Amino acid sequence: MKYACSLLALLALTAPARAADDITVGFAIAKSGWMEAYDTPAATAAKIRIEEINAAGGLLGQQIKVVEADTRTDRAEAAKAGLDVLDQGAQMMVVSCDYDFGAPAALVAEGEGMNSFFLCAEDVKAGLQGVGPNSFSSSVLAPVQGATMAEWAYAKRDARTAFVLEDTFIEYNKGICTGFDWMFPQLEGAEILGRDTFKNDDASIASQITRIKSLEKTPDVIMLCSVMPGAAAAVRQIRAAGIEALILNGSAVDGSYWLDAVPGLSGFALPVQGTIYGDDPRPEVEAFNAAYEARTGARPASQYAYPGYVLIDLWAKAVERAGTVDGAAVTAELEKMQAEPTAFGPRSFSAELHHQNTALMQIVEITGGKPARVDEWQISQPVPLDVLLGK
């Protein structure tokens, strides 16, 4: 009995001390508001990787603890959420998917010299250029997605003429078109016949469709740089008008949830980091999809869960190599990563760029209303920094 008591006392004493020895990762993400639908899957994926690391013995011999705060999809609240997780002892910060909503929290982390990772930002500003030296994103830059579709459609679908339709809603869309505009015209015999813009919430894109129809010849492909819900609305109106050209888009429209908007859609292709449809050639991807389903009861709704898994994977590797969670030391290790293998393909960082300027992407095509992987493609040369920065 005496032993039991002292054992209990000992446990009581060591329990909090043990917690202080944990490594704490702070999630300053949207747990409410419209951004929640995008942040939660990636954050769930990040936690799956954290649990895997913990189960395998932890990081630097310590368990990783997760603390959270809600940004409520609000830029001002995002900064507060950053301070909140900081107060809870965060040593690395995971912030919202989108640059605009993640940056306020990431800046808080930067001010403390801590590492921050955007859950899935694909704008070059979400990192070194926009936040500071310790900020990263593990997703694939939007211009890479646009350039991938340009080169793939040219090589595999004999696309020689294109029409570019850009949604001016967010920077991501501009990035997709930037990549396409850089890659497509430099391919031999390829030409952009025309272009137009629309706004994501435009009630109708009839004028834009009239412009496509009045081209002298129908373009081989239409590069649509848009996100939901405007992208589905645009595709519906384009197909309804009888334009059957192959439509290309970025990763943002991945997932089959919107396909009811365009019944029986065919000839629509997009690049993804891994496929959610169970047909990815890499067994690790399907293993992750199964782990995600086991945890949440449903498979990922789009590829945007994956960058969450990858970011923890890369950060943990860098921490192991640096032997510390100190921001500058981990950044130095991250910047040494060249084609670092992950479950979703190799990733690289450098002192100039904390993003992927090239990546092996899976090509998903929708045929008869069913999405399926048809190919994979990696652009022949990385997107130059000047193009990424819009110079």
Binding-site ranges for other proteins (CB under 8 A): 32-38, 73, 166, 168, 195-199, 201-204, 206-208, 210-211, 213-214, 228-229, 232-233, 236-237, 239-242, 255-263, 298, 301
Distance from C-alpha of 84 to C-alpha of 72, rounded to nearest angstrom: 13
> What's 208-277 look like in SS3?
HHHHHHCCCCCCCEEEEECCCCHHHHHHHHHHHCCCCCEEECCHHHCCCCCHHHCCCCCCEEEEECCCCC
Q: In whole angstroms, how close is the CB of 363 to other proteins at the nearest point?
A: 22
Q: How far is the CB of 160 from other proteins (least distance, A)?
A: 21
Least distance in Å: CB of 218 to other proteins?
Answer: 14
Q: Are 64 and 26 in contact (CB under 8 A)?
A: no
**Minimum distance from residue 163 beta carbon to other proteins (Å):** 13
Q: Closest CB to other proteins among 251 and 348?
A: 251
**Smallest distance from other proteins to CB 255, Å:** 7
Closest Cα to residue 267, out of 371, 146, 164? 371
Q: Is the dihedral of CA 272, 98, 123, 322 positive or negative?
A: negative
- Residue 66, beta-bridge partner list: 25
Residue number, 35 or 153, with CB nearest to other proteins = 35
Taking the complex as a whole, the smallest distance from the CB of residue 291 to other proteins amounts, in Å, to 19
Q: In the complex with other proteins, which residue's Cβ is closer, 7 or 240?
A: 240
CB atoms within 10 A of CB 285: 23
Nearer to other proteins, 83 or 241 (CB): 241
Give the nearest distance from C-beta 389 to other proteins in angstroms: 19
Q: Is 196 helix (H, G, I), strand (E, B) or coil?
A: strand
Residue closer to other proteins by CB (options 240, 287) is 240
Closer to other proteins at the Cβ: 68 or 376?
68
Contact 30, 70 (CB under 8 A): yes
Considering only CA atoms, which of 367, 366, 347 is closest in space to residue 356? 347
Nearest CB to other proteins, comparing residues 6 and 32: 32
3-class secondary structure, 173: helix
Which residues, 6 or more positions from 344, have their beta carbon under 8 angstroms from its beta carbon?
Answer: 273, 274, 282, 284, 285, 306, 309, 310
